[in-house]
Amino acid sequence: MRPTRGPGWQSAVAPRPTQRYHFGMVARPAKPKPKPSSPRPRAKPLTARTADRHELYQRAVQAPASDAAFYARWFQKYTGRPLRVLREDFCGTAVLACHHVLRHADNRAIGVDLHWPTLAWGRIHNVRKLLSAEQQQRLLLLQKNVLDVRAPKADAILALNFSYSVFKTRAELAAYVRNCFRALRPGGILFLDAWGGPDVLRQVTDRTRHRGFVYEWEQRRYDPISHEITCAIHFAFPDGTRLRDAFVYDWRLWTLAELRELFVEAGFADVHVLWEGTDHQKGGGNGVFRRKEKGDMDDAWISIVVGRKPGG
Global pTM reads 0.86
Q: Any residues with CB less than 8 A from the CB of 237 and at least 6 apart, and which?
A: 45, 46, 47, 48, 51, 212, 213, 214, 243
Q: At what angle do helices 95-103 and 64-79 cross, to 10 degrees?
A: 60
Q: Could you read off the pLDDT of 132-162 as tens digits, one per residue?
A: 999 999 999 999 999 999 999 999 999 999 9
Q: Could you read off the pLDDT of 29-74 as tens digits, one per residue?
A: 344 555 555 566 677 899 999 999 999 999 999 999 999 999 999 9
Evaluate whether 92 touches 247 at the Cβ level (below 8 Å). no
Q: Of all residues in the chain, what percent carry a pLDDT higher than 70?
A: 87
In this prediction, residues 175-187 reach a mean pLDDT of 98
Evaluate whether 127 touches 94 at the Cβ level (below 8 Å). yes
pLDDT grade for 8, boundaries at 50, 70 and 90: very low
b/e map of 175-206 (b: 16 or more CB within 10 Å)?
A: ebbbbbbebbbebbbbbbbbbbeeebbeeeee
Whole-angstrom Cα distance, residue 232 to residue 229?
10
Q: Could you read off the pLDDT of 74-112 as tens digits, one per residue?
A: 999 999 999 999 999 999 999 999 999 999 999 999 999
Which residues on neighbouring strands pair with residue 218, listed in sequence order? 205, 232
Q: Any residues with CB less than 8 A from the CB of 131 and at least 6 apart, and which?
A: 98, 101, 102, 139
